[in-house]
Amino acid sequence: MIAAWYQGEKQITVFPVALPDQFIEHGAVRQLKEKYRISAECIEKRILSVIK
């Protein structure tokens, strides 16, 4: 698949899953993951919305 993309045969969509480039306050990991949408559930929802 990577070779096909590199040769221009496939279109690949890439979206970042990361913390913003700013100060992240302290808190419970679970709450922070939800706030910044990097929990497993949030990532799953985002992936499903992209592939539909």
Tell me whether residue 6 is in a domain: no
Model pLDDT for residues 18-34, shown as the tens digit of each residue: 888 899 899 999 999 99
Pair of tokens at residue 10: 């496939």
| Residue 47 one-letter amino acid | I
Range of the domain at 30: 13-51
Which of left, alpha, beta for 50 (phi over 0: left; psi -120 to 50: alpha)?
Answer: alpha
pTM, two decimal places: 0.63
Considering its fold, how many domains does the chain have in total? 1
Measured from the Cβ of residue 3, the count of other Cβ atoms closer than 10 Å reads 8
Q: Which residues contact 43 (CB under 8 A, 6 or more apart)?
A: 17, 37
Tell me whether residue 4 is in a domain: no
**More confident: 31 or 14:** 31
Tell me whether residue 47 is in a domain: yes
